[in-house]
Structure 1
């Protein structure tokens, strides 16, 4: 029995044990540090294309929004994306040019999404997606069609160690 319990009586309160977060267990409300900047996880989209799944986390800081993509295929694949505009883009085109690079259609499909936080407005919807890569396979374009709206993001692969996680709850 502890000294304080003997002295004042009553039960000892137990402090819940903090669970360590990983890129696969991030939650809305957590914080991440990337490239010397701190971001709050403000949204999460979980994609499911016939059992093949991946997650995108919306990161926000000082008016800037990034998307952290996390996918466990044969190994953990992590990418950082930023929304861009490509006027006249036709989703599903075999190749797309942007910023001096040519990107080639790598895969496409349709996914059902579950979403939370700021991304909650797409919860329960289906999205058509088109993933493009350049010749170096280091730069990517992600094209998503939500109903009639086309969203394009430019991305690149990062290493897991480049992200530091601070659990928000």
Structure 2
């Protein structure tokens, strides 16, 4: 190659190129901005219920932790959830009252789970899940049974444009 070719020729692409992020490939330490606050991705749970797959990203903010639920079911469905303290016992009811809202059982099942980051210890486990919604299908309640422990979260649907992603590397 001539000297001019070396000076003005194409540069080789860096092998350290940052992959453009989307809802399915967020990585640990990426930053997700939601509702004017920045959250760091610190965990990811992958669920698989007989081939139907979805993900939950654990987002750590300055004052709270949120869970971003991502699933593709004919179209992209996103939800933002926050854990709550709600004393539930088995059997899991078909209807739950919380903060003046009645939630009705929409679907339930068992999923095989793998995890990354803070959720890494969940890999190889199973989770029983119970998904609820209110009458208007605007508010959601999620109950997950991990062994003998029940975790409850409330959430609502969000749109992809409400999130801004900054890749960490």
TM-score, structure 1 normalization: 0.91
Distance 1:40 1:152 in 2: 22
Q: Give the equivalent residue in structure 2 for 1:131.
A: 131
State the match for 1:149 in structure 2: 149
Answer yes or no: is the 8 Å Cα contact 2:42–2:60 preserved in 1. yes
Which SS does the other structure have where 2:74 is aligned?
A: coil
Kept after mapping to 1: 8 A contact 2:88/2:150: no
Unaligned runs of 5+ in 1: 6-11
1:89/1:96 contact within 8 Å kept: no
The DSSP-based 3-state class of the residue aligned with 2:92 is coil
CA distance in 2, matches of 1:2, 1:55: 46
Unaligned runs of 5+ in 2: none
Distance 1:111 1:63, change over 3 A: same
1:18 Cα deviation (Å)?
2.2
Quote the offset at 1:4 in angstroms. 9.4
**Partner residue, 1:3:** 7
Where 1:66 maps in the other structure, the secondary structure is: strand
In structure 2, the CA distance between the partners of 1:48 and 1:88, relative to structure 1 (3 Å rule), is closer
Q: Alpha-carbon deviations, 1:89-132, whole Å to 9, x = none? A: 54531100000000000000000001010111211100000000
**Does 1:94 pair with 2:98?**
no
How much does 1:61 deviate?
1.4
CA distance, structure 1, for counterparts of residue 123 and residue 63 of structure 2: 24
Paired residue secondary structure (1:62): coil
Paired residues in the alignment total 163
**Matched residue of 1:161: which SS?**
helix
Moved beyond 4 Å, runs of 4+: none
Q: CA deviation at 1:53?
A: 0.3
Task: Report deviation, 1:14.
Answer: 4.4
Contact 1:91 1:143 in 2 (8 A): no
Tell me the secondary structure at the aligned position of residue 121 of structure 2. helix
